A and B are shown apart, each in its own frame.
Chain A
Amino acid sequence: MRWDDTAVTQSPAPPRRDPALSLLDRIAVEALSPSYRQAHEQRRRGPGEPGEHRGPSGRPHGPALTALVVALVGVLVGVLVVASRAQSVQVASERDRLVALAAERRDRVAELSAAVVALDDEVARLSASVLASEQVGTAEAERAGALGLAAGVTAVSGPGARVVVQDAADLGSPGAGDVGRVLDVDLQQVVNGLWQAGAEAVAINGERVGALTAIRSAEDVVLVNYVPVVPPYDVQAIGDPRTLPTEFLRSDGGAWLQAVQVSAGLRFSIDSVTDDMLLAAAPVGTLRYATPVPAAATGTGSEEGAP
């Protein structure tokens, strides 16, 4: 047992109780390879001089070999330094490349967004010029404008009313449950009530309600135009500021709100707004079935989309 005789020379008979500890102990005790002492003992017993700590000259290898091996260690270290530096350079260049790519893509998005805006402008300009041309006539232009307003595809401004709907005050408190949350159906009722009361344009938290707008819940979040909106829900309606609030309260939507106020604790308020509110245009979705009426048939109406 090699490590036993080093243990004797190093520390006399260390007590070994814990096998795990003895493993680590052995590593520490054997830190200097026991072969060194063994070779030394052999040499002392042999013909060499005992004090000499260089290899005896009679051996095939000498200090030159030691130097060579030490130089080999140096080469290893040098190669490692170069390799790790090359690696870090590579990582850095990779990161730079990704950053540049991200910036490039961001620029491209900005470019395309600008193109969308420019094309939208062009569409508006072209349709205006078509409507202004003699072929169509001013009556038709006015009709297109009114339809655009009603469909919500043009931005509008004007006075009207504002309905603010909020979750019940105790929503989220322990034991209150989910009853006091404003649902999609509540907002649908509000919007329908406002139409009923004579509103000409409606928006919820700035999302314009257009012909293709859906007000839907996804989990606890209400989506308008597929955009999540959060309470308090600020429903702006453009119409006659003197009659809109009272007409709304008398509408089905108003009745609905008052009912859920009593039963579920929802809070709402309605005020007339005499200053101009600006409502943005609703997004125009992809029209899959509707096609423009040919010029010859314009006089007969455009109700062909109805089932």
Chain B
Amino acid sequence: MIPVLGLVAGIVLGIVLDVTVPSSVQPYLPIAVVAAMDALLGALRATLEGVFDDRVFVVSFVSNVLLAMLIVFVGDLLGVGTQLTTAVVVVLGIRIFTNAASIRRLLLGA
């Protein structure tokens, strides 16, 4: 319950604060959000399976987000940013789909 409240509070805060993201960071924001969604869904699935561990969650969240942004950043430097973005999105997309399917099975039993 507390995490859900935290999520809502965070979204409201993010919109209300109206932070101007520096334009150099802006291209990496979507990929960071995708990585964060992946970590979030993984945590939800772990909770439902009864294996949640907050230390693992925090570490996986921070490392996933930073790593995803770093991969795309390095890709941009090398001139293959688009391709690496695709690679990151494919991997994270498969994980998100799989986790979402598991959550659906765990919640609805179907």
* Residues of chain A at the chain B interface (Cβ within 8 Å): 24, 27-28, 30-33, 35-37, 39-40, 43, 51, 53-55, 59, 61-83
Contacts and interface: CB of A to CB of B under 8 A. Distances in A.
A30 B102 CA distance: 12
A79 B60 contact: no
Secondary structure class of chain B's binding surface, majority of residues: helix
Contact of B2 (A30, A40, A53, A67): A67
Given A80-B29, A81-B15, A70 B40 contact: yes
B79 interface: no
A83 B29 contact: yes
Secondary structure class of chain A's binding surface, majority of residues: helix
Contacts of B30: 80
Given A31-B102, A53-B47, A76-B36, A81 B14 contact: yes
> Which residue, of A43, A59, A71, has the highest number of chain B Cβ atoms within 10 A?
A71
B54 A61 contact: yes
Interface string B26-59: 1001101100110110110111011111111111
A47 B50 CA distance: 17
Given A61-B58, A63-B54, A73-B36, A32 B46 contact: yes
Contact of B29 (A36, A62, A71, A76): A76
A70 B7 contact: yes
B69 to A, nearest CB: 11
Contacts of B15: 78, 81-82
Given A53-B52, A75-B10, A82-B15, 18 more contacts: A27-B91, A27-B94, A27-B95, A31-B95, A33-B46, A35-B56, A40-B53, A53-B51, A68-B6, A71-B9, A73-B37, A74-B8, A75-B17, A76-B10, A78-B16, A81-B14, A82-B14, A82-B19
Nearest to A42: B53
Contacts of A77: 10-11, 14, 33, 36
A28 to B, nearest CB: 5
B82 interface: no
Contacts of A76: 10, 14, 29, 32-33, 36
Interface size class of B (residues with CB under 8 A): 35 or more
A78 B57 contact: no
A292 B9 CA distance: 85
B48 to A, nearest CB: 9
Contacts of A73: 7, 10, 33, 36-37, 39-40, 61
B32 to A, nearest CB: 6
A31 B60 CA distance: 12
A123 B18 CA distance: 63
A302 B17 CA distance: 83
Contacts of A63: 2-3, 54
14 contacts: A31-B95, A35-B59, A36-B53, A39-B51, A40-B50, A51-B50, A54-B52, A61-B55, A70-B10, A70-B40, A74-B13, A77-B14, A79-B14, A83-B26
A83 B27 CA distance: 11
B29 A31 contact: no
Given A36-B51, A70-B40, A71-B7, A82 B18 contact: yes
B15 to A, nearest CB: 4
8 smallest A-B Cβ distances: which pairs? A78-B14, A74-B10, A31-B98, A71-B10, A67-B6, A40-B51, A71-B6, A39-B53
Nearest to B52: A53
B5 interface: yes
Contacts of A69: 57-58, 61-62
B54 A79 contact: no
